[in-house]
Amino acid sequence: MNSPAKENTRLLAAALLIACPDLDISKAKKVLLPSMAHTKLERDLHRWDLHEMPSKYKFGALTVQPGQTKEEQWFSNTGTTDAYDTFLNILGRRIQLRGFQGYPAGLDTFTGESGETSVISSWQHYEMMFHVAALMPFRPNDRQQVHRKRYLGNDIVCVVFLDGPDALFDPTAIKSKFLHVYILVQPVSPQGWRVEVVRKQAVPEFGPPLPNPPIFDDPQRLHEFLAVKCKVTFCGSGC
């Protein structure tokens, strides 16, 4: 029978692997309590444990049509296709912005200046609001659609929907100091979506991992993956 100390170590290792599946637990080192007190590590860990993680998050949502290669084209896409509508229903729940009482993520909930509808989601007790560019007002005299980019360009994570088998996305075409991670979703069949994650070099690899091959044929499974991936990405880059 394992001793209580060994059992606690085993349980701690299991918990770490659940939170960080890619963690190499073999490189972990045991630190004795006297050492922790000497280096003030115990105090710092306690302070970190008391650190309150945010419960509300905002993410961008952009759509790319075949033949489009510039951010001006992407931010000018207005309205939704059947395929994008289907995806937005997977991503979250469409809500009326006017009078919305939840987390608005900077969107106007009084006058309609940010559009009539948006998409919200949740995971456990976390609230998420998506800045969906195609649902925001289109301004024909503004080639860059600065109003839309003001929202998405200040997000850390953006979900990019490739609306067609020939649609391509180059993250370097978007000029933003804040966007660090793009989660690309592309339909491959009526009930199948390919997912790819593109991140800036400064962002380390993070979970949950994509399946192999990275195809989702269950809408609920795709919804849960995107919710968790967005939230983990945000905390890894901006919390």
With 70 as the cut, is the pLDDT of residue 1 above it? no
Could you tell me where the beta strands, DSSP code E, fall in 5-123?
56-64, 93-96, 117-123
CA distance 213 to 215: 6
Mean pLDDT of 95-105: 96
pLDDT of residue 36: 53
Judged by DSSP in three states, 111 sits in: coil
pLDDT band at 231, cuts 50/70/90?
confident
pLDDT digits (tens, 9 = 90+) for 149-199: 999 999 999 999 999 999 999 999 999 989 999 999 999 998 999 999 999
Q: What is the separation of C-alpha 222 from the centre of its chain, rounded to a whole number of angstroms?
A: 13
**Taking a C-beta distance cutoff of 8 angstroms, is the pair 183, 201 a contact?**
no
- Which pLDDT score is estimated for 239? 45
SS3 for 221? Answer: helix
State the pLDDT confidence band at 96, using cuts at 50, 70 and 90.
very high
Tell me how far CA of residue 166 lies from CA of 47, 209, 222, in angstroms. Answer: 50, 25, 22
Give the model confidence (pLDDT) of 194-215 as tens digits: 999 999 888 888 889 999 999 9
Average pLDDT, the chain: 85
d(CA 121, CA 206): 21
Q: What is the pLDDT of residue 201?
A: 84
Look at residue 123 and give its three-state secondary structure. Answer: strand
Q: What is the DSSP-derived secondary structure letter of residue 138?
A: P
Among all chains, which residue has been given the structure tokens 């049509």?
A: 65
Give me the mean pLDDT over the 70-84 stretch: 97
- Phi, psi (deg, nearest 5) at residue 190: -55, -25
* Confidence at residue 22, expressed as pLDDT on a 0 to 100 scale: 57
Kindly give, in sequence order, each residue whose CB lies less than 8 Å from that of residue 147, ignoring residues fewer than 6 positions away. Answer: 136, 137, 139
Tokens 């490739």 sit on residue: 162
* All domains of the chain in start order, with CATH: 4-50 (no CATH), 56-238 (3.40.50.11210)
Structure confidence by residue, pLDDT tens digits, 5-42: 665 565 555 555 544 555 666 667 666 655 555 566 66
